[in-house]
Amino acid sequence: MQFAKRLQPLKSNVFADMDIAKAKALAAGRELIDLSLGSSDLPAENHVIEAITQSLHDHSTHGYLLFHGTREFRQAAASWYEKKFGISVDPETEVLPLIGSQEGTAHLPLAILNPGDFALLQDPGYPSHAGGIYLASGQIYPMPLKAENSFLPVFADIPPQVLAASRMMVLSYPHNPTSAIAPLSFFQSAVAFCQQHNLVLVHDFPYVDLVFGDTQIPSILQADPEKSISIEFFTFSKSYNMGGFRIGYAIGNAELILALRQLKAVVDFNQYKGILNGAIAALTGSQTGVKAGVERFRQRRDAFINALHRIGWHVPTPEATMYIWAKLPEPWANKSVEFCTQLVEKTGVAASPGAGFGKSGEGYVRFALVHEPSVLEMAVERIREFL
Ligand SMILES: Cc1ncc(COP(=O)(O)O)c(C=O)c1O
C-alpha cells in the first residue's frame, strides 16, 4: 500500500526501540522500574473525580459538546490566568478547550503552515511538536538548546533564509526534557523577535505548577500582554494528575484561537462535558493538592539526585518539572540509545534516550521521577552496578 510521505518521519522513533528493549527485559524476567514516561503516578483529586462522577449521572452531558466547550470552562480558565498572572482574558474569544496540550500543539501547525514553510523548534524538544509540523508538511529548523546557554535558544544563530521562510516558533518552559526554566526577560526577547519576523509564538506550558523553589514562572502572555502573536497551551495532566482524562486548553491571540477552533471542528467535537466539569473543579477548587504533589516530586528529585551524586554521577538539580536531564558519562557519551536499551535489558531500569528528543539531546538521558524515593534509590543502585 502506498502512504503519504508525511508518514515517513513519524515512523522512525527511538522510543519504539525502547519499547522493544522494555519488552525484552520483561520477557527475561526483569522487574521493570520504568522512568521513561512522564506520566504522573499520582491520582487525580477527589473533588475532581466527584465532579466527573456527578456528570456521568447527568444525561444532559452525554451528547456532543458543540462549539468551543462550555462557558463555565472557558471562564474558569480565564479567571485562573487572571489570578495567577494578572492577565485579563476574554473567555469567549481567547480560550479553547483541547483534548490535551499535545492534541492542540500538534493540530495548530495545520492552521499556520503551508507546505514547505518552516517552524522553529527547540532541540531537544517534546517529540509531538515536531510531529505536528510533519503533519502540516512543514519543515523544521531545530534551535539547539545548550547547557552553556541555560538551554535557551540563541535567536541570532537562525540563518536569515530560514527565518524568511518561517511562520512560527514553538517554545516550552519549564522545559521537557532539560527541566530548564526561562526568565520573563527571555520571553520578552522571544516576543520581540517573533513580532519583528512575523512569526506566531507558541508556548507549551505543562509544567507551570511543577516548580520547587520560589522562582516565578512566567506565562508567555505576560511578555505579550496585547496577545499580539502568542498562544499558550495548558494541560491538566501535570498540575492535576489528569493525564488519562485528556484535557487542556489553548489561551491567547483571538485569531489563533479561532483558527485552531475552525481546524478542530473538522476533527472532533471537544472533550466530554463531564471531563470539562472535572477540570473546572480542579481550577476552582482547593489548590492544596497541587502543592502536595509538587512536594512529592521535590522529595523524589532530592532522593534521586543525592543517590546519583553518591555513585559519582554529578547532574544539576532541576528547579522544575518531573525530569532529571543527565549528561552521560564516558564511555556512553554519545550513545544515549545504546545506554538506555542496554540499561533496561540488563537492569530493568527504563529511561529515555536524549537522542529521542532531537539531535542536540544526544549525550543525555532523561529520567522521569514517577516512582517513590525508595524505588528511585533502588534504580540508582542498579545503574551503579550497570556502570
Ligand atoms: C512539553 C509537553 N507538552 C505536552 C505534553 C502532553 O500534554 P497532554 O497530556 O495535555 O497532551 C507533555 C507531556 O509530557 C509535555 O511534556
Q: What domains does the chain contain, in order, with CATH numbers?
A: 5-43+288-386 (3.90.1150.10), 46-284 (3.40.640.10)
- pLDDT score of 18: 85
11 pLDDT tier (thresholds 50, 70, 90): confident
Regarding the beta carbon of 177 and ligand 1, being less than 6 Å apart is answered: no
pLDDT digits (tens, 9 = 90+) for 169-208: 999 999 999 999 999 999 999 999 999 999 999 999 999 9
146 pLDDT tier (thresholds 50, 70, 90): very high
Closest CA to 210 of 298, 138, 272: 298
User: Stretch 18-42: mean pLDDT, rounded?
Assistant: 91
Regarding the beta carbon of 206 and ligand 1, being less than 6 Å apart is answered: yes
The residue to mutate among 178, 238, 242, having the most atoms of ligand 1 within 8 angstroms of its beta carbon, is 238
Ligand 1 midpoint to CA 102 (Å)? 5
d(CA 37, CA 356): 12
The residue to mutate among 237, 366, 369, having the most atoms of ligand 1 within 8 angstroms of its beta carbon, is 237
Nearest protein Cα to ligand 1, atom 4: 102
Write b or e for each residue in 274-307: b if 16 or more Cβ atoms lie within 10 A of its Cβ, otherwise e.
Answer: bbbbbbbbbbebeeebbeebbebbbebbebbbeb
Ligand 1 midpoint to CA 28 (Å)? 32
pLDDT digits (tens, 9 = 90+) for 246-270: 999 999 999 999 999 999 999 999 9
Closest CA to 323 of 345, 300, 342: 300
69 pLDDT tier (thresholds 50, 70, 90): confident
Span of 14-23, 36-45, 121-130, 227-236 with lowest mean pLDDT: 14-23
d(CA 210, CA 296): 10
Ligand 1 midpoint to CA 29 (Å)? 31
- pLDDT score of 16: 78
Those residues with Cβ within 8 angstroms of residue 316's Cβ, 6 or more apart along the chain or in another chain: none
Nearest protein Cα to ligand 1, atom 16: 176
Burial class (CB in 10 A: 0-12, 13-18, 19+), 160: exposed
Residue 51 has pLDDT above 80, yes or no: yes
Residue whose entry in the numeric block shows the C-alpha cell 533502588: 378
Regarding the beta carbon of 248 and ligand 1, being less than 6 Å apart is answered: yes
User: Stretch 311-318: mean pLDDT, rounded?
Assistant: 96
Write b or e for each residue in 47-67: b if 16 or more Cβ atoms lie within 10 A of its Cβ, otherwise e.
Answer: ebeebbeebeeeeebeeebee
- pLDDT score of 67: 75
